[in-house]
């Protein structure tokens, strides 16, 4: 069973691991603009071919250079103060990563002539930082590492209060435009999630704490605690081993179990909790 659960962790279908991908998924699947979400014209639905060449008088976006793109990005970020601290801290802690991210955003804007939402740029900055330095979070001090998962629990609770189906999708990392829309209405909370991840990476770089991976005893302690919290075998198998019953658990039940799971992790003995957290952060960084 222990080896099976480690394999499950490595495949990335582990609930607390998937939680960390929410912002990254937003970067991979930016929310469409309202004009893009409109229904297709009747002619297209019927199979009518679109014109091969756009009309000569069709409005085209004005070309911009890289300097103008950077100025537009600066104005966009400045207009979203909830995210300001994240970008300030990124520039302070990892100036090269900050510059690379903004250069990438500007190049994308020049190439596409399309400005994405500020929520997308935050999520993309998180993704780039995770790829370049995410493994450092494994070595963070206990408070910084634990806070990453505490904030994720806050996000999960906020989603659960609005939409049980989205809650389950968030648990298993299957979020895209629905989560992006949620994020746009909960920017302080999402900004906190991004910032705590950044602070964990900065803490790991500064402290370089070495941690062993979780043991079979750690999993047993977690499972015992989940039973004590009232979860049954069906919920525990779904959360720890990815074994969904047939028919599947209803969204509200699985969403509640996911919250109980993260709450229980938070209350495990520190050594076991940090070993599990550390492995989760390592797998996220290497995925």
Q: How far apart are CA 156 and CA 141, in angstroms?
A: 24
Residue 13's pLDDT is what? 38
DSSP for residue 241: I
Q: How far apart are CA 71 and CA 89, in angstroms?
A: 19
Residue 9's pLDDT is what? 45
Mean pLDDT by 10 residues, the chain (287 residues): 49 43 50 37 33 47 80 92 94 96 93 86 89 93 94 88 85 66 84 93 96 89 93 85 80 91 92 90 76
CB of 160 within 8 A of CB of 259?
yes
Residue 34's pLDDT is what? 34
Residue 1's pLDDT is what? 56
Torsional class of 113: left (φ above 0), alpha (ψ -120 to 50), beta (otherwise)? left
Q: How far apart are CA 250 and CA 248, in angstroms?
A: 6
Torsional class of 93: left (φ above 0), alpha (ψ -120 to 50), beta (otherwise)? alpha
Residue 185's pLDDT is what? 85
Torsional class of 146: left (φ above 0), alpha (ψ -120 to 50), beta (otherwise)? alpha
Q: How far apart are CA 72 and CA 120, in angstroms?
A: 15
């Amino acid at each position: 069973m222990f080896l099976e659960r480690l394999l499950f962790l490595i495949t990335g279908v582990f609930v607390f691991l998937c939680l960390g991908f929410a912002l990254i998924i937003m970067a991979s699947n930016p929310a469409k603009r309202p004009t893009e979400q409109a229904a297709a014209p009747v002619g297209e639905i019927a199979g009518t071919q679109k014109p091969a060449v756009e009309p000569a008088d069709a409005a085209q976006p004005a070309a911009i250079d890289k300097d103008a793109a950077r100025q537009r990005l600066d104005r966009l970020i400045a207009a979203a103060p909830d995210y300001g601290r994240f970008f300030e801290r990124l520039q302070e802690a990892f100036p090269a990563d900050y510059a690379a991210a903004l250069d990438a955003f500007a190049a994308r804007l020049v190439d596409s002539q399309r400005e994405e939402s500020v929520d997308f740029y935050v999520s993309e900055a998180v993704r780039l930082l995770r790829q370049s330095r995410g493994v450092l979070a494994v070595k963070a001090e206990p408070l910084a590492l634990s806070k990453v998962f505490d904030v994720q629990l806050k996000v999960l609770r906020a989603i659960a209060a609005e939409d049980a189906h989205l809650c389950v999708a968030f648990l298993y990392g299957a979020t895209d435009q629905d989560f992006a829309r949620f994020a746009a209405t909960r920017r302080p909370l999402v900004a906190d999630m991004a910032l705590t991840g950044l602070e964990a990476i900065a803490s790991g770089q500064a402290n370089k704490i070495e941690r062993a991976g979780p043991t079979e005893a750690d999993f047993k302690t977690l499972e015992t605690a989940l039973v004590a919290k009232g979860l049954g075998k069906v919920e525990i198998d779904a959360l720890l081993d990815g074994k969904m019953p047939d028919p599947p658990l209803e969204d509200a039940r699985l969403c509640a179990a996911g919250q109980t799971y993260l709450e229980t992790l938070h209350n495990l003995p520190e050594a076991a909790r940090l070993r599990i957290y550390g492995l989760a952060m390592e797998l996220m960084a290497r995925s």
